[in-house]
Amino acid sequence: MSFITKFRGCFLRPFLMRTTHSKAMEPKRTPFYKFHLTEGAKLIEFCGYAMPIQYESQNILESHHHVRNHCGIFDVSHMLQVKVFGNDRVNFMESLTTADLVNLPAGSGTLSVYLNESGGILDDVIINVCKEPYLYVVSNAACAEKISKHLKEKQETFRKLGKDVSVELLNDKALLAVQGPEAHEIVRTGISPAEWPTFDDLFFMETAQFTSLFGLYLDSEPIRITRCGYTGEDGYEISLPAEIAVELGHCLMKVKQVKPIGLAARDTLRLEAGMCLYGNDLDETTTPIEASLNWLVGKRRRQFTAQPLFPGAECVLNQLYKKSPITRKRIGLKGEFGPQARPGSKIFAPQSDIQVGHVTSGCLSPTLGQNIAMAYVKPDFISNGQELAVEIRKKLHKFTVCNIPFVPNRYVRRPKSK
């Protein structure tokens, strides 16, 4: 069986199992819906939206390689976009997440996590401290309803304490990711020459507003461009008025190096980059320390004296400083070419019937040509090079613990000042 055939069959089945289905309601449509139809997208219901799993111009494997080598565009408008206003906006978001926003320069952002009172992860989130008087916040579509409710409830609690904060859900905005080594030059061609200095000064996890893109604009509604993404490649996420979304997609498709990319390739790209998928690799019972995301706890937030304390701080900080033991840890696994390790696959100690963990994400890596997976295992089995056995279709297959990411990222970071 060829790699392409095995890849397609092994990947699509578990991916489709993760999608949501509802007979009672038609899936919602993103602002790019007509663009998807024009480009021959195969649409599925995902997180309540009609989303492209792939396009007729390329199979999943070709789509994956195109992003690694050129430039792909992804509709991510189903994600939750929020603005947080008010004099106490930083204090508000720090009371909900592990981020150190006080020390974050204006115009930059950070990955963080919303936590519950037990230190479990409610969702992962990118928080941008904008040069304008608000925070721009993006989190997952799968948790949009939960997080929207959470933010509104906490907003009211804050206001009762006399705090100044206001949460605005950006339901009228589209969001497009442009990813790949050629993304910078392609997006730059759409920037007005007068705004090139601002665009050229954007580095990884930095954000700015622009008046137009490829000549498209809506009066009084700027376009926000953030240099980030979910593929491990250089790239941008573009938040723009829904009214000009389809036109932007068509403008980008006029560039030869650009291809539309669906959810299937997005998942293999993020897994190679070692990025977590909420609901698979993260959930409300898992702390940042168990998830090997210690770095998401800002340095200033690592003290019990730091105010405000984030939810579940006692549990998380005790785990961080090894005052409390953990029973599992997220790791990377590599295996030989063969059956794919799927979410829920049991992991055993070598030459033993003792289960030591389970797989949370897995695929045949198009870049590496071998199986990769993320998993949670007992702390005694997390060392690089540790051999483990993964049960796939009632047979045990050898995997080895390895570093994450599986494929080196290619973010363009701001040079450190001397």
Whether the upstream peptide bond of residue 27 has omega within 30° of 0, thus cis, is no
> Would you call 243 helix, strand, or coil by DSSP?
helix
Contact 234, 412 (CB under 8 A): yes
Has 62 been labeled as part of a binding site? no
**Which tokens in the block code for residue 34?**
């007509």
Q: In the numeric block, which tokens belong to residue 188?
A: 């730059």
Between CA 72 and CA 266 the distance in angstroms is 10
Q: Strand 258-260 to strand 71-75: parallel, antiparallel, or no bridges (unpaired)?
A: parallel
Q: Which residues are known binding-site members? A: 237
Q: Which residues are known binding-site members for substrate? A: 237
